Amino acid sequence: MSLITEEQVVLDLTGADRHEATRTLGERLVASGRCTDLDQFIADVRKREETMATGLPGGIGIPHARSSAITEPSLVFGRAADGIDWGAKDGPASLIFLIAAPEGGGDAHMQMLPKLARALMKKDFKAALGNATSEAEVVRIVSAEVGLDQPAPAKPASTQTSTTTTHSDAVSDPTRDTTGAAAAGSTATAASVASGSSSASTAGGGATTAVAEEAPPRALKLVGVTSCPTGIAHTYMAAEGLENAAKAAGHTMKVETQGSAGTTPLTAAEIAEADAVIFAHDLPVKDAGRFAGKPTVDVGVKKGISDGPALVQQAANLAAEWRADPSKAAAAAAAGPTASGGLTSKVEDGASTATKVRQWLMTGVSYMIPFVAAGGILIALSFMLAQVALGESGAIEIVKYGLTPTDPAYNIAQNFNPLSLTSWAALLFVIGGASFGFLVPILSGFIAFAIADRPGLVPGIVGGSVAATMGAGFLGGLVTGLIGGFVARWVSSWKVAKGVRGVMPVVVIPLLSSLITIGLFITVLGRPIKALTDALNTWLGGLGGGSAIILGLILGAMMGFDLGGPVNKVAYAFATTGLAAAGASTDAPQLKIMAAVMAAGMVAPLAMALATTIRPKLFSEPERENGKAAWLLGFSFISEGAIPFAAADPFRIIVSSMAGSAVTGALAMAFGTTLRAPHGGIWVLPLIGNFLLFVVALVAGVLVTCGIVVALKSRDPKLQQVEAVATV
């Protein structure tokens, strides 16, 4: 049945106070057969109101309760011409929604809250309700926005989270916003938390705690840590999302980003003063012992991007719990940290074999990317300076320079002239080349590290160096990393005499694992893998016409599929690891692949930004705000900027994103654009070969994705109805 019927609409609501008005609305539930005991239900609502008033800024009231007197989830709408005081500081409420849910009705109560809150963020939705002339019109307007999801299969009892938060946890400070939008956003936040959208655990034992009933009445000091294993995007997007969410909730927050671009650690004083901690990470938190004794929300990094407000509210609730029960802090401090420090990898216990293999490889790639970025950009800048200094042959001439060249005249260490542009170009080339020389050893070493922890570093790094020396390339690095990791883990598992244990990690494990791994590679595996690498390079070098376009199309579609997820990262890893094989060439096929992948990865966020600009009525208020941010994210090659859109409308957004990204990837390959930098987006445009054609390919894909998104959304009857009555 519908949540709201014509019988559950009161267009001329009156009452001496909110309690009398609530009874009037409740009587409509009795009349419709959805309430079996009005007094019991009113008592439950009043108990909720006594905890914290549910009036929101902007003339809104949302009384609500779970009650044994309610037979099914229901909404009752009342419109008060003169307004009724509902506890909001900015004045009385004129639009009142009574939310009623059965006591055992699961999360129906909390499904209604975020959807209603999102609708109330739309000015025309409120205006349409204020101007409605009939009960049927109100039912149509509300039903277009608020409905219950289909019930999901029940989770095993061991994995379910106990939550008791209700909506009033998130009633925002009315002094923050007089439009009602901020309050509605806070309502959505509370609903998200209460339905268990984030998995919070205490630092003490990792057990999920029940959400506190009350939101803290004071501003909090929060700290957090974000990290991701396969690049920089998620780390810094999550940090920004958490900081913005904390600010919107009236709190202060500082986030330590443990990403590939380095980090500024939180000070001991900042941690000591913090009321709660939020970890949004896919790598174990470094030096987690610093946070022992603090209430901690611990989730994956993507939660920090998509559910920042919910995580902040969860942290606030935990802080309130711990203030009420000081024994929790003492127990957590005694239990110690929940994560290890130092070098880290993210390999999930209990994950499938395929998932673990991907995580091992992505750990190696994540540690390799800074070397790729430094080396690639330095070499690209070197070629640019060389062409200015030496003309068109500059890129060919500059590769003769080094630290041990055959001709002493090209020894940059002995002949560097700070006033010579050629010397600077040579210096950049030598440093960039040195950075590139570490790509395969680092890739191999940290694959082994992900498998065997620190014991895997020696066989992995040395094995990768041998693979590079033999010309086996990144394929050789993958093999030595996997073998070195497994061998090191095997040797580490040996049960040895007590007297030998002390020398195992220092002597025995690195000695035996290196001997086995590298000896096996040199004598058995190295030559066939080198032959395979040579064949791959020959195939890539022979790409042209249709073959190159098809490869670009496939890689582009992969970049647009999951927007920073595993498929996207596979395409990106293929491009970045291939840069090592490009050497000093300015037109290697690997450079074309990198350009195609970067261009394709920029399409989705830019297309969403464009779509929200040209057809804003097809998107909600939060989506339009995300669209403004997506311009910068897209230009910076951060595909994750489109995640909020894909989360809200996965089919339309993913289909559109794949189509446009595939077009861009194919065109970039067809145009022969090249790129040595593995990241940076539009900000490394001067380093892109044929950059005008790169821009053409990018614009084409953006227009394709934007056009498909607009067309698909425009054909949705529900969206058309929402647009007519409930959008700005």
The arrangement of strands across the sheet holding 252-257 comes to 252-257, 221-227, 276-281, 296-299
Residue 283 DSSP SS3: coil
| Token output for 698 | 């990018």
The dihedral through the CA atoms of 523, 529, 530, 535 has a sign that is positive
Does residue 273 contact residue 293 with C-beta atoms inside 8 Å?
A: no
Burial of 226 (C-beta count, 10 Å sphere; 0-12/13-18/19+): buried
Strand 55-56, strand 60-61: pairing: antiparallel
Task: Count the neighbouring beta carbons within 10 Å of the beta carbon of residue 146.
Answer: 22
Task: Count the neighbouring beta carbons within 10 Å of the beta carbon of residue 507.
Answer: 11
Burial code of 424-451, b = ≥16 C-beta within 10 A, e = fewer? bbbbbbbbbbebbebbbbbbbbbbbbbb
The whole-angstrom separation of Cα 407 and Cα 396 is 16
Burial code of 547-568, b = ≥16 C-beta within 10 A, e = fewer? ebbebbbebbbbbbbbbbeeeb
The whole-angstrom separation of Cα 148 and Cα 162 is 21
What would the DSSP string read from start to end of 176-245? S-SSSHHHHHHHHHHHHHHTT-S----TTT-PPPPPPSS--SS--EEEEEEE-SS-SHHHHHHHHHHHHH
Give the helix/strand (H/E) hosting 84: strand 74-84
The whole-angstrom separation of Cα 311 and Cα 316 is 9
Residues 6+ apart with CB under 8 A from 407: 400
Give the helix/strand (H/E) hosting 93: strand 93-102
Residues designated catalytic: 228
Give the helix/strand (H/E) hosting 281: strand 276-281
The dihedral through the CA atoms of 558, 559, 562, 565 has a sign that is positive
Closest-CA residue to 559 (of 440, 705, 707, 710): 705
| Token output for 603 | 């399409």
Q: What amino acid is encoded at 722 in this protein?
A: V
Q: Quick one: angle between helices 589-614 and 650-671, nearest 10? A: 140
| Token output for 421 | 């542009």
| Token output for 66 | 């779970």
CA distances from 436 to 64, 172, 292, 423, 684 (A): 61, 52, 40, 20, 18
Give the helix/strand (H/E) hosting 28: helix 18-31
CA distances from 685 to 421, 605, 674, 677, 694 (A): 22, 18, 11, 10, 9
Q: What angle do CA 331, 336, 341 make, to 5 degrees?
A: 155
